[in-house]
Amino acid sequence: MKRITVWRNVAVGVFAAAAVGFVGAAQATDYTTNVGAIAPNTPYTQIMNHLAPVEPMGTSFMDLFNFQVGGSGFSSVAVNLALSPYLNISNLQLGLYSGQNALGGLLVGPVGSGVTLSQMLMTNTDYSLKVTGVTSGTLGGSYTLAIAAVPEAQNWLMMLSGLSMLGLIAWRSGRV
């Protein structure tokens, strides 16, 4: 009877250790990237890898990208999130937040992959993107994130009208 109890306890211990090992193996490596100021017409692109054996299939992850919009006044920021074609991620979601590390309020999202977000954002203010998903490939998963600050149309129109006025003045002064 004692021998059966000992073997049962050993079997329970081995099973418990294996269960803890499997649970521990599914822990994600979450990344925080401080992008800095994004200048107009200078996009930021990052390929993020969540690969086995550290993050095997079925591992959930959350990545944060902290950034500011460079320039003065308001600027429209277009955010594009696309999956890499070679490794799989399911339930890929993107959210745009005010403040660093997604601690502020949710401004846009969460939205799925392949969607371009456009939002009017104040310059020199902290923002963050939170990307979540689950690795679904046997080797893990990978995705690409692109952030681009696009100047407002009114800024371009103001510059174009100013250059037009300078051209008109130069043209008229040449005729006299």
Q: Write a three-state SS string for 8-37.
A: HHHHHHHHHHHHHHHHHHCCCCCCEEEEEE
Q: What integer pLDDT is reported at residue 91 of this predicted model?
A: 86
pLDDT digits (tens, 9 = 90+) for 59-78: 899 999 999 887 766 666 66
**What was the pLDDT predicted at 174?**
73
Numbers of helices and strands, H then E, in the chain: 2, 9
Average of per-residue pLDDT values in the chain: 75
Grade residue 152 by pLDDT with cuts at 50, 70 and 90: low
Tokens 């490939």 correspond to what residue?
137
- Give the Cα separation of 105 and 176 in Å (integer): 60
pLDDT at 25: 45
pTM: 0.68
The domain 26-160 is placed in CATH, from the list 3.40.47.10, 2.40.50.100, 3.20.10.10, 2.60.120.1050, at 2.60.120.1050
- Residue 12 confidence (pLDDT): 46
Q: What is the pLDDT of residues 30-39, one digit of tens each?
A: 889 999 888 7
Distance CA 93, CA 114 (A): 10
CA dist list (Å): 148 to 9, 35, 103, 144: 59, 12, 22, 13
d(CA 31, CA 8): 42
Residue range 125-139: mean pLDDT, rounded: 88
Mean pLDDT over 70-89 rounds to 63
Between residues 10 and 142, the one the model is more confident about: 142
Domain ranges of the chain: 26-160
Report the percent of the chain where pLDDT is more than 90.
7
- pLDDT above 80 for 24: no
